[in-house]
Structure 1
Amino acid sequence: MGEFRGLLIPSLCFLFGAAAVLSELACKDSHSGPTYESLQSVFDKKPFRPATNLSNPTVTNISFTLYAVLGVNEKSQILTTFLWLRLYWYHEFLQWDPEKCGGITKISLPVEELWMPDIIVYEFIDEDKSQRCPYIYVNHTGQIRYDRMLRVLSSCNLEIFNFPFDVQKCSLTFGSYMHTIRDVRVSLALPIEQISENSKKYLETSGEWELVKIQGETDILKFGIDEWDIITFWVTIKRRPVLYVVNLIIPSSFLMLVDIMSFYLPPHSVDRASFKMTLILGYTVFLLIMNDLLPSTANGTPLIGIYFSVCLALMVISLLETVIITYVLHHSAMKYRPVPRLVRVMVLGYLARLICYTRPPSQPETPSNNITTDPQEKMKNVEVSQASPELQQICRDLGMVRAHIDSLRLQQDLEEEWIHVGYVLDYLLFRVYLVLITLYALVITCMWCIWYNL
């Protein structure tokens, strides 16, 4: 091993020393451009970094254009983009004088014949299957330009709480895979503002996603004692929510509007319960259909999914309230049972004042036990007791009729009181519906304004 190292180091020194002497490529008068022999000598040095002094790092300038956002997979936390990547670096062995080479200042050479910096995207999580450009451009000063199309599947922390008005910020980190900061340095080929403007120009006709801005910064990545030079680009994109507003929010708003209007049906009607059951069934079918449009992650649930669940819960609560009221009003045992004191105080007292419920005025009650309180009535009773048996029988029959009428009136009063309890609960739930839907409309409007102003 020592003998091999002793032979390798002098050979490398001789090789790069010769390259330093032959800093310019040879040209012939009959040829335009460098000769094949001089280029072949450069091709033979492909395994080595093109620097006459290996202590000087090779600077690689990077720029790209975000051409398309192909997809965002919220469940797998993957962002798929399509980039036009452009790299610049200097090849110190590829230099010639244009005046001696027929005025040629730029030539194209095969990629596989020259050394290239191993620049990768650190967030890349899949095999690179994008098409490679087989040629590179070489300037007479030794500057190399390499263009390629890059389909990037990168990991990104996607936030879906504000869906479909969400804004995603993902990073694309470019740097060398093997060469440390002593061998390869990276820098920007274009200003960040120009990269962002070029990307916006090509993304104007894209589908679901819209580019907001691109930010970038250089940094040094450390692993142990080694350091790598990197550039991190922050790509901010926002979703166009028109598709989801039309397919999710508007149909749900229509169904909720129908459910709100159902509160105007009388609570003691059996048709109201069947109508609400049909409406819940329709809303459940709607949730099953829109389940494919909602993103799903293990980190959280979008706000619109919470809203759909709350709407379904309110519809179920309104159905249960209708069932309870129907049971109370149609059950024979409830008709003769007075309203409990706690229910009367809480529902007909506090809740009625809270929702500003006004009870309609009732008819003056006719007392059923004041027959013998009036002196004139006493005299009539005495006279009736002294009358004939037929008249006494008629009086007893009239008393029974009056008692029956009083019992019917008492039953009607109890039924009306239970109906008022149902009306108070109906009005309360109706106002809760209106408050929640109004709050949600304000939240959607604010989110839309924030999305629009980005």
Structure 2
Amino acid sequence: PAIFKSSCPMDITFFPFDHQNCSLKFGSWTYDKAKIDLLIIGSKVDMNDFWENSEWEIVDASGYKHDIKYNCCEEIYTDITYSFYIRRLPMFYTINLIIPCLFISFLTVLVFYLPSDCGEKVTLCISVLLSLTVFLLVITETIPSTSLVIPLVGEYLLFTMIFVTLSIVITVFVLNIHYRTPTTHTMPNWVKTIFLSLLPKVLLMQRPLEQQRKNISRKNKKESASKSCKSKHSKHKDTKLQKEQQCSHCDKATELITTKTRQLSHQTLKWMPEHTEYSPEVKDVISNIQFIAENMRSQNETKEVEDDWKYVAMVIDRVFLWVFIILCVFGTAGLFVQPLIADT
């Protein structure tokens, strides 16, 4: 008996789901078939003395006899070739390489679900990128080193690195949009059409109506004023009827004040004739009211534009959330499907 050690070229394109075909050729270069004839016993290799390996599994081991006439000589030479079709066991690499990388990819997806107001989007992106970099440094020695082909797991790691880097770029862009103001940027009409009307419907995003917000604000003002009025009159020891009448008058006064305050603006004050003479105190009050009304209108318009920019940033976040989920799912599925397609 003898022990032979042999090496064979390996194709690691689909590492760690690769298969290798290694051959052992036995024959004589000195004696031709007329002097030495080799006989093969059975078409399969005897596996009784084979020790199972923790990394490789022999799928098939078959032997063939060849009678070959080479160009150098007229004689026929006999050889027996055994082909070992082996498969790498991917459990170790799946647990230690693919699954951690998959988790990092899904952490990148969560970046787009994080609200922009929290101020931690870029921090999360950079943390994910640093964790991926450290992970790559740790597993460098585990991946076969070759410049002929890029292993499948190497492609997936490269895909994840690009994935995380793009998330940082997109996050910076989204934050830039989120904090835009009407004093620095003007929202184009196509942005309003696409990101405020079209895409929210496609993404099933519903924005609260402006009228609903106004109604809620009015209701809150009336309730707060009514509660304040009731608390003031509750201190007096009057009859129940007097309290109800006072609160009723208070509610009416609150509604009247709210209505008049809403209607008060620069236009409503124009009905006053210019030639009418007022005391300096009254003119001062009118001027201050006009200033307050204009200032409140300007603040409301600015707030509406800022809210529109924030909503555009939210829509972009939601778009890339779905895009990155689809890319992550299909990229991971492609990692496992490619070896199966290659086998078929």
TM-score (structure 2 length as normaliser): 0.73
Closer, same or farther in 2 for the Cα pair 1:223/1:277, shift >3 Å? Answer: same
Contiguous gaps of at least 5 residues in structure 1: 1-146
Which has the larger displacement, 237-246 or 215-224? 215-224
Aligned counterparts, 1:225-304, within 5 A: 225-226=72-73, 227-304=76-153
- Aligned to 2:2, which of 148, 152, 160? 148
- Aligned to 1:191, which of 37, 42, 45? 42
The answer on whether the counterparts of 1:335 and 1:414 sit within 8 Å (CA) in structure 2 is: no
Counterpart CA distance in 1 for 2:140 and 2:312 is 38
- Aligned to 1:164, which of 8, 13, 16? 16
Counterpart CA distance in 1 for 2:143 and 2:182 is 46
How far did 1:267 drift? 1.7
**1:89 maps to which residue?**
none
Aligned counterparts, 1:22-101, within 5 A: none
Give a deviation string over 1:207-237, Cα, whole Å, max 9, x none. 2101101123333444325343222222111
Which one has the largest radius of gyration?
1
Counterpart CA distance in 1 for 2:333 and 2:132 is 23
**2:276 maps to which residue?**
386
Greater share of strand: 1
TM-score (structure 1 length as normaliser): 0.57
How far did 1:336 drift? 4.3
How far did 1:250 drift? 2.1
The answer on whether the counterparts of 1:384 and 1:391 sit within 8 Å (CA) in structure 2 is: no
Task: State whether structure 2 residue 297 is matched by structure 1 residue 406.
Answer: yes
The answer on whether the counterparts of 2:14 and 2:339 sit within 8 Å (CA) in structure 1 is: no
How far did 1:349 drift? 5.2
Give a deviation string over 1:128-166, Cα, whole Å, max 9, x none. xxxxxxxxxxxxxxxxxxx212122x232x222222111
Task: State whether structure 2 residue 194 is matched by structure 1 residue 340.
Answer: no
The answer on whether the counterparts of 1:336 and 1:414 sit within 8 Å (CA) in structure 2 is: no
Closer, same or farther in 2 for the Cα pair 1:308/1:349, shift >3 Å? Answer: farther
Identity %: 24
Greater share of helix: 2
Counterpart CA distance in 1 for 2:329 and 2:275 is 71
Closer, same or farther in 2 for the Cα pair 1:187/1:408, shift >3 Å? Answer: farther
Give a deviation string over 1:322-367, Cα, whole Å, max 9, x none. 2223234446x66542222344445445544554443343347999
**1:210 maps to which residue?**
57
Counterpart CA distance in 1 for 2:87 and 2:328 is 26
**1:140 maps to which residue?**
none
**2:162 maps to which residue?**
313
Contiguous gaps of at least 5 residues in structure 2: 215-261
Counterpart CA distance in 1 for 2:30 and 2:208 is 85
What SS does the aligned partner of 2:272 have?
A: helix
- How many residues matched? 294
Give a deviation string over 1:11-50, Cα, whole Å, max 9, x none. xxxxxxxxxxxxxxxxxxxxxxxxxxxxxxxxxxxxxxxx
| Counterpart AA for 2:292 | V
Question: Which fold has the larger relative contact order, with Cα–Cα distance below 8 Å and residues 6 or more apart in sequence?
Answer: 2
**1:424 maps to which residue?**
315
